[in-house]
Structure 1
């Protein structure tokens, strides 16, 4: 006979979204059942953000010899031990894993059920030998690598983000299908670690970001040796003669075959909606994910959905943000709204690319010509010059009334710098607010002040300013 639980909250998925809900709900004294069939920590910890950033860190050190001569320091070419790189990546995962473990959440007072969960009706979830009849449910099952329908793909071995971090030997020639953030981050990392890398992208690489910014990053990636085949489709995959993998591509009338030793599929993400019993739960969904309203409720008012499974912005920090909204609404009945305009995101290539709010294209579509584009180059920043990190810029979008609408940054530590602009946008601040803080010298944060000054640059031509300054000179 099935064991029955009746908690305040039942959370399906033990990734960043689900764990944040569980921890917060327990902090407020709510009873919680957490259902997770796989590894705790989800994609971010085990196959996503954490291992990829650890690998990028290793590749940055491997690249030191290529740039150190600029500083008067010379190194011999590095010897990369992929077995130790693999150990480094998994050591980082292991160091974080206890924070996301079953033991920690059971110590917090949550009941953790290690089984696949499936709704059997609109009010009940079945997981192994357990049935959960919760007051509210939260679906946080994340996403997985989308596998495109490429002819012949089933005839060759291929990697995804779920398996690429298990490599213990250097790929001879890694072919990556997909030039989005995951594909380009890993392409540059593996190239710096000594592999040959070719990226095949059917559109423009990093096409979701501002092309003025991505052009700067893509130049560096190609300078590192990555071959980027933009606007190129894949028409087939097959085992290559003599071993390896042959990828047939076409760009316009050009058709050719690219041969490599390894193939990585990085062609987007698919929401984790399989076999959840969503139809039985009366939850509307399609191949893009689960439909939710502004308060993250599904078509079944007892059930919320957050994170990648909703098909929106697929970032760990978005999942954490949405988890906080659900806790406020589900436990306290407070009105909430999922506001994506305040969400920053970053791509951890070198240089990094970061964005928040509107791009220039977005602003033009909404405001016509009633906005300003303000730019300031890293080359005009003393810290960037000292570090020889002058390839980059800050590009801020502001309404004519001064309200900051968005910002994009490409350059060193862009992922850190974007937080200042995210704070400004979340609090409805104007460009003038960037002039009201003092940045230590020399730091990259001075870039924010300089782009704020740029908002007022055209006002210096106002004839009244000249008249006023002449008047002030007459005063004793």
Structure 2
């Protein structure tokens, strides 16, 4: 069996693995990249890219349906198959950046096979054995299918298959009220489907309840039925007529079913025991350096058992490159990692939510807020519902929550402020162009100083003194 000796062997060609491979090989390291499935991983082929392309088409349909003051609304004519052509075209446009040809051109050895450890320093992939100084596990995650009675016999979709559906569902049922479930629910509703979302606990239960309520009300207003606090106990029926039975005996029938209840890390069959790599159902057990129990083996992205976001995988890649390629110290601190739900309105979070901040900081916490209703750009575009909420301790932000137009874009400023430990005065003193949605963040920061400036009797006495004597 042919053997390859290399510096770094990366298992998985998704966002994290590709980022490590590109950085390492261009810095001069010998790199072997192993991928059994599609290059680009879940994000390109079944996650971020196709979902945002579908959401864009749905947003265009909704814009026609709503119209604008002085612009008459019209019923959109949706060609569902052509929408899916757009989705596939976007994937095809981005795919060359993640392709085998590009990475081989950079100097990587790319092996399209399943990888299995045969020892602490070796893996087998196809008919080749790879011996490396360092390994990076970047295998990502797969959709979780819960053990519901009937799930093995009833047809359903996951994010890996829903984008191949070319006929519009007449009634899409979505099990799972998290970001993936709600994004797909709203997109399909706007494209003409009846939609029911079933959540066993609370819709957007991880998010700030005040802000998530804004999203919930918007989805409900568009005609999406939300069923909360009722777990699914049984599935039955067949294609075109799937029946969901809830814990209280209620039955809901739809034409199609989407499972969006979470994800599980893809580590099956890797024989991690042979490598001395500890792991759990959540992923590889890693330290703050992303290093496993085998000091030669790192894990990044979903495989590292933490936050499951594409941007986290890319961030992890930089941390591993510093160590495995450059020999420099680096540690992962997730306190300033943002997340966004791309519904309309969008919902974004970085750092602590209000509830988390109160539990952690108690009386030292100050919460400041600014409404989009007072933002001139939001009013001009008739998108003035939403708010920014910032959690502040000793003059520095420790968390920020945003619901409203372009929340995913606006959260970046607060991610920077928290990661760089900026004082709130830096944001309040920022000059933002007018009129922009970004001014709402500046307004929120200014709200922290408002009471100190405008409600201080001592300051007012000082101003009166200065005005009396100022030439």
TM-score (norm 1): 0.97
What is the correspondence of 1:13-28 to structure 2 with a 5 Å cutoff? Answer: 13-28=12-27
What is aligned with 1:427?
Answer: 420
Shift of 1:199: 0.5
The correspondence of residues 47-196 of structure 1 with structure 2, limited to 5 A, is 47-68=46-67, 70-196=68-194
Q: Within the alignment, does 1:455 sit opposite 2:456 as a pair?
A: no
Q: How does 1:2-21 map to 2 (within 5 A)?
A: 2-21=1-20
2:395 maps to 1:402: yes
Distance in 2 between the 1:288 and 1:344 partners?
Answer: 21
Q: Which residue of 1 aligns with 2:246?
A: 249
Q: Deviations over 1:412-464 (max 9, x none)?
A: 00000111111111110111111222111110111111011100122132221
Q: Is the 8 A contact 2:10 2:135 kept in 1?
A: yes
Q: Deviations over 1:302-351 (max 9, x none)?
A: 00001011221110000000000000011122111111011111100000
Distance, in Å, in 2 between the alignment partners of 1:430 and 1:168 is 50
Q: Following TM superposition, by how much is the alpha carbon of 1:5 offset from its aligned partner in structure 2, in angstroms?
A: 1.1
> Distance between the aligned counterparts of 1:362 and 1:376, measured in 2?
20
Further displaced range: 96-105 or 203-212: 203-212
Larger mean Cα displacement after TM superposition, 2-11 or 52-61: 2-11
CA distance in 2 between partners of 1:244 and 1:95 (Å): 36
CA RMSD of aligned residues (A): 1.0
> Who is 1:216 aligned against?
214
Does the CA contact (< 8 Å) of 2:353 and 2:401 recur in 1? yes
Q: Could you tell me which runs of 5 or more consecutive residues in structure 1 were left unpaired when the two chains were aligned.
A: none
By how many angstroms is 1:65 displaced? 2.3
**Structure 1 ranges of 4+ moved more than 2 A:** none
Q: Are 1:415 and 2:412 matched, yes or no?
A: no
Whole-angstrom distance in 2 between the partners of 1:53 and 1:113: 30
TM-score calculated relative to the size of structure 2? 0.98
The 10-residue stretch of structure 1 (366-375 or 52-61) with the greater mean CA deviation from structure 2: 366-375
Q: Deviation per CA, 1:175-233, whole angstroms, max 9, x where unpaired?
A: 11001100000000000000011000011111111111110011111111110101111
Which of residues 275, 288, 300 in structure 2 aligns to 1:306? 300
2:325 to 328, 331, 349: 331
**1:182-331 superposed matches below 5 A:** 182-239=180-237, 244-250=241-247, 254-331=248-325
From 454, 464, 469, give the equivalent of 1:470.
Answer: 464
Question: 2:435 is matched with which residue: 439, 442, 447?
Answer: 442
8 Å contact from structure 2 (residues 65, 76) kept in 1: no
- The answer for unaligned runs of 5 or more in structure 2 is none
Q: Deviations over 1:386-426 (max 9, x none)?
A: 00001110000111x20111101000000001111111111
What's the CA shift for 1:67?
Answer: 2.2
Equivalent residue of 1:225, what SS? coil
Give, in whole Å, the separation in 1 of the partners of 2:241 and 2:177. 21
Deviates more, 1:353-362 or 1:132-141: 353-362
Distance 1:332 1:345 in 2: 29
Closer/same/farther in 2, CA of residues 16 and 243 from structure 1, 3 Å limit:
closer
Instruction: Check whether the contact 2:66–2:73 (CA below 8 A) recurs between aligned residues.
Output: no
Q: Distance in 1 between matches of 2:69 and 2:107?
A: 54
**Cα displacement (A) at 1:243:** 5.2
Q: 1 CA distance for matches of 2:240 and 2:195?
A: 17
Aligned length: 469
- Counterpart-to-counterpart distance in 2, 1:247 and 1:106: 47
Distance 1:412 1:65 in 2: 18
Deviation readout 1:7-66 (Å, 9 max, x if unpaired): 110000000000000000011110000000010000000000000000000000010123
Aligned residue for 1:153, secondary structure, equals: coil
SS in 2 for 1:356: strand
CA distance in structure 1 between the partners assigned to 2:446 and 2:438 by the alignment: 14
